[in-house]
Structure 1
């Protein structure tokens, strides 16, 4: 595909996304219908689509419309590209700009940060002086991180194994197990280091959350909102734990047994009823459903689909999960509450409310990370049951 043809493909995909289709589904459907597109074409189109979604407001303003065409045109202008050479109408290229596209308006302050208007006061209140810098960081692609499985290899050995397959990685300061991939990221899934369980894909901030937990050998640990099990496996790699995983939707954990086998660890999957029968636990981690505002670089759709009603529903769910998991912790045990959000109402406000509801708890520590620290935005509050 020519560069201009890739733009046309991205425009069509973005139009489907703007009409309500999930981004991954739209990309997959295009790929299946476009057998002529090679792996390089698919990767380039994917990058165009996600860059446009991260910068949806500013690109729409620069392109003259919030359409697939407007977003791609605005993205080219933001990059200083030669629009005339690519929007030329020849072959599979998009037609030349016309009408409002010829006289785009400069983005406003919030548009230039790609920040939804209704969320701006909440984000400003939560991030303070870092607001603009964090929002700028969320407009750009996230780094690729790996977690070294210390049960299989040392950090140095993992770096060496990756390098042998053309994947260049370096340690990252957020966590002792974190590697940032600087070259060859698209080779990871096909590498022996990945297949043999030496490394897993996991954000460095997510690894930092696990590193901050009191993982003592022999402890009974429950990952209550396990999802695909990234944090479950990260915990398993660091200590001799009796490890359990639960999720409100068990289907999210369907790949966890195979991943655990590849990593050489044991994890027992529990239903909600099982968690109550197996209680009490020494440590429960509740990585609660949230706005995902700390990870909008990776999932930019979430920035635009979040509404006040949806956020209120998430806050209510988080409070319920805190009450549910607090009841599963033994006296003297710990509860770790985590989100990949940068909003206070999902983070500190939830902890203050829990402590007001349950006086038999104390706060032990707090970890707050934003994309300015290198990884995703993450929050962890560690609580201890004292009564």
Structure 2
């Protein structure tokens, strides 16, 4: 496919997304219908689509319309290209620009930073002076990070194994297990290092959250909102005896295969099967995902105040649920991939009001300025009587 044909395909897919379709599903269906498109074509079209989703408001302002065509005109303009050189109508290129089409207009701060208007105030309250640089970071693709599986190797050996297959990865200071992939990221999933369990794809801030929990070999840990199990695997690699639980067990369907590849054991629990006696109960709770908008940008535009209210109720309920599962002398940890104080510090403050017998021993808010996704984590222990 020519670069112009890729832009034309992206326009159609962006229009589907703007009409309510899931972007990932639209891309998958497009690839099945257009098998002539090679892997490089699919990757380029995917990049166009997700760049447009991340920068929906600014690209629309630059391109003159919130349509697939307008967003791609805006994308080319933002990249310093002349849209008229792509929109020629020749071959499979998009139709030529009409007179006046693509004329940029002045942007508000929220448009320039691609932030929904209603979230500007709460994000400014949470981020302070970091609001603009964090939102700017969320307009761009996330780096690719790997977690070195300490149950099988160390960071130096993992780098060597990746380098043998042309994948360049450098240590990241936010976590002692983290590698940032700087070359060959698209080859990681098929590499021997990945297939043999030496490394796992995991954001660096997600790894740093686990580091903060102070897990030691032999600890009994309950990962209460395990999802796909990325943090369960990281906890098990540190020598913990991990039980994984999720309210929707299907999310953990791949965990046995992942654990086998990593060389660790994880006990999957059915809903309602969790019991007490754990040295640490960890809840990476459902949240807005605002810290991970560059990885899942559709969530930025799907989030509503009503949904945020619902998520906050769910988070408070989970915090209440996990208290009985903590053994005497044990700890409780709460995390989200959110930047919003309502989901983070405010939840812990409210928890202390409901459960006065606990104290916070560690707390941290990560933002994309630290290198990875935005994450919040608080580690609590019971007060001694």
Alignment correspondent of 2:244: 245
User: Structure 1: how far apart are the matches of 2:120 and 2:246?
Assistant: 32
TM superposition score normalised by structure 2: 0.98
Alignment correspondent of 1:334: 331
User: Structure 2: how far apart are the matches of 1:318 and 1:48?
Assistant: 35
Alignment correspondent of 1:320: 317
What's the secondary structure of 1:359's corresponding residue?
A: coil
User: Structure 2: how far apart are the matches of 1:208 and 1:282?
Assistant: 20
Alignment correspondent of 1:125: 125
What's the secondary structure of 2:319's corresponding residue?
A: helix
Shift in Å at residue 99 of structure 1? 5.5
Alignment correspondent of 1:51: 51
Q: Is contact 1:329-1:385 (8 Å) kept? A: no
What's the secondary structure of 2:273's corresponding residue?
A: helix
Match of 1:368 among 341, 365, 370: 365
User: Structure 2: how far apart are the matches of 1:288 and 1:101?
Assistant: 45
Q: Is contact 1:64-1:100 (8 Å) kept? A: no
User: Structure 1: how far apart are the matches of 2:18 and 2:59?
Assistant: 14
Q: Is contact 1:330-1:385 (8 Å) kept? A: no
TM superposition score normalised by structure 1: 0.98
Shift in Å at residue 15 of structure 1? 0.8
User: Structure 1: how far apart are the matches of 2:213 and 2:286?
Assistant: 19
What's the secondary structure of 2:364's corresponding residue?
A: strand
Runs of 4+ in 1 over 4 A off after TM superposition: none
Residues 28-56 of structure 1 deviation map (CA, whole Å, 9 limit, x = unaligned): 01111111110000000000011000000
Match of 1:280 among 277, 282, 285: 277
User: Structure 2: how far apart are the matches of 1:99 and 1:248?
Assistant: 55
TM-aligned CA distance change 1:334 to 1:38, over 3 Å: same
User: Structure 2: how far apart are the matches of 1:100 and 1:229?
Assistant: 51
TM-aligned CA distance change 1:102 to 1:254, over 3 Å: closer
What's the secondary structure of 2:264's corresponding residue?
A: coil
Alignment correspondent of 1:263: 262
What's the secondary structure of 1:142's corresponding residue?
A: coil
What's the secondary structure of 1:327's corresponding residue?
A: helix
Alignment correspondent of 1:358: 355
User: Structure 2: how far apart are the matches of 1:106 and 1:23?
Assistant: 28
Alignment correspondent of 1:198: 198
Shift in Å at residue 97 of structure 1? 2.0
Shift in Å at residue 268 of structure 1? 0.3
What's the secondary structure of 2:274's corresponding residue?
A: helix
The residue correspondences of 1:1-387 to structure 2 (distance < 5 A) are 1-98=1-98, 101-239=101-239, 241-276=240-275, 279-386=276-383
What's the secondary structure of 1:189's corresponding residue?
A: helix
Q: Work out the number of aligned pairs and report it.
A: 384
What's the secondary structure of 2:363's corresponding residue?
A: strand
Shift in Å at residue 90 of structure 1? 0.8
Instruction: Please provide the CA RMSD for this pair.
Output: 0.9
Q: Which runs of 5 or more structure 1 residues have no equivalent in the other structure?
A: none
Shift in Å at residue 187 of structure 1? 0.5
Shift in Å at residue 98 of structure 1? 2.1
Residues 248-281 of structure 1 deviation map (CA, whole Å, 9 limit, x = unaligned): 10000000000000000000000232103xx121
Shift in Å at residue 179 of structure 1? 0.1
Q: Is contact 1:138-1:371 (8 Å) kept? A: yes
User: Structure 1: how far apart are the matches of 2:121 and 2:63?
Assistant: 27
